[in-house]
Amino acid sequence: MKLSTKHLLGIKHLTTEDIQLILSTATQFKEVLQRPVKKVPSLRDITIVNLFYENSTRTRMSFELAERRLSADVLNFAASSSSAAKGETLLDTVNNILSMKVDLVVMRHSASGAPHFLAKHIPAAIVNAGDGINEHPTQALLDAFSMQEKLGQLAGLKVAIIGDIMHSRVAMSNMYLLQKMGAEVMVAGPPTLIPKYISEAFGVKVEYNLKKALQWCDVANVLRIQLERQNQPLFSSLREYSLAYGINRRLLDSLGKEIVIMHPGPINRGVELDSDVADGSSSIILNQVENGVAVRMAVLYLIANREN
């Protein structure tokens, strides 16, 4: 089977079959990653550039590891240490890199739509590693893989996405993916961090009371407060945010049921999650990171395979 799309620009453009194909391929690659020799020759003739115009720890390292596990040749580009800092345009930069016979571009950019723009102007396939406040498709795929691994299936699952929904590409990609796969989705947080149109536009439930959201859900996917994307204050202080929307052990214990805690990282410890929750038995945060490698291997393998 092949993906229906040349690029992975967002979950919005994927079919249910695409998502199932990526998740089942990731299961096979996760098995490879349990072996003593964690490497396969699948992409040994492919060269991939990781083009990062915005900071990253998990996504950048996970893509690089996935590429190396698939035996691809890898180039890493960080905008801050490149000629982009001298004013070179995105298109000039990418065309120069592609002229060195690079086959596939993985790109993170602070501008929403940057990978979509690039897709219209270059011949190579593009994988979106997070664009502004638009989408972070591989994060949603690894989140789905992790939920499925922990709880069996996505259909019928109740997932609450909690916190800074307004600025979150993770929330956007998760809403698309979970609904395509038959899960129920709620967004929860302060009214100032939840877009007014979200219920009509996405068909998700909206809840402003944290405890009610936690009582409803099987899984809480907790988001980072993205102060760097807020032009004006949207709540009074981090301390007040934490008092109303921070998740601590006492709150979890008061629910009278077990829920799964997820977070895409990086965590603001003591703000959206206390350490005893982030590091506690309900948390699958590091499983998400582990699964990111297998999921990205699946995405790269399927995108490269579609080109052949």
> Residue 128 CB, nearest distance to ligand CP (Å)?
11
CB 69 within 8 A of CB 293: yes
Cβ-based nearer residue to ligand CP, 6 or 229: 229
* Burial class of residue 303 in the structure, from the number of CB atoms within 10 Å of its CB (0-12 exposed, 13-18 middle, 19+ buried): buried
- How many CA atoms within 13 Å lie on the side-chain side of 189? 28
Is residue 264 a contact point for ligand CP (CB under 6 A)? yes
The minimum distance between CB 166 and ligand CP, in angstroms, equals 17
Tokens representing residue 296 in the block: 């990205």
42 or 168, CB closer to ligand CP? 168
Instruction: Give least dist CB 303 to ligand CP, A.
Output: 19
- Does the CA dihedral 268-293-55-111 come out positive or negative? negative
The packing angle between helices 58-69 and 16-33, to 10°, is 70
Contact code string over 212-241 relative to ligand CP, x by CB under 6 A: ------------------------------
- Closest approach, Cβ 94 to ligand CP, in A, equals 20
Nearest-CA neighbor of 71 among 287, 304, 290? 304
Contact partners, residue 268, CB within 8 Å, separation at least 6: 224, 225, 238
Query: Burial of 290 by CB count in 10 Å (0-12 exposed, 13-18 middle, 19+ buried)?
Result: middle
Residue range at the interface with ligand CP (CB under 6 A); choices 85-93, 152-160, 215-223, 259-267: 259-267
Of the candidate residues 113, 265, 270, 280, the single one contacting ligand CP (CB under 6 A): 265
137 binds ligand CP (CB under 6 A): no
Site stretch for ligand CP (CB under 6 A), options 18-26, 93-101, 238-246, 261-269: 261-269
* Residue 47 host element (H or E): strand 47-52
User: Which of 58, 306 has the CB closer to ligand CP?
Assistant: 58
Please tell me whether residue 13 binds ligand CP under the rule CB under 6 A: no
CB 103 to ligand CP: min, Å? 23
* Residue 62: CB minimum distance to ligand CP, A: 8
Is residue 139 within the footprint of ligand CP (CB under 6 A)?
Answer: yes
Residue 132 binds to ligand CP (criterion: CB under 6 A): no
Distance of CA 115 to the CA centre of its chain: 15
Tell me if 185 sits within 8 A of 159, measured CB to CB: yes
Site mask for ligand CP (CB under 6 A), range 45-84, x = bound = -----------xxxx-------------------------
**Which of the stretches 146-154, 177-185, 244-252, 263-271 binds ligand CP when contact is defined by CB under 6 A?**
263-271
CB atoms within 10 A of CB 119: 18
Q: Supply the minimum distance, in Å, between the C-beta of residue 129 and ligand CP.
A: 8
Rounded to whole angstroms, how far apart are CA atoms 148 and 2? Answer: 22
Question: How many amino acids of this chain bind ligand CP (CB under 6 A)?
Answer: 9
Q: Which of 196, 189, 197, 251 is nearest to 226 (CA)?
A: 189
- Interacting residues toward ligand CP by CB under 6 A: 56-59, 130, 139, 264-266
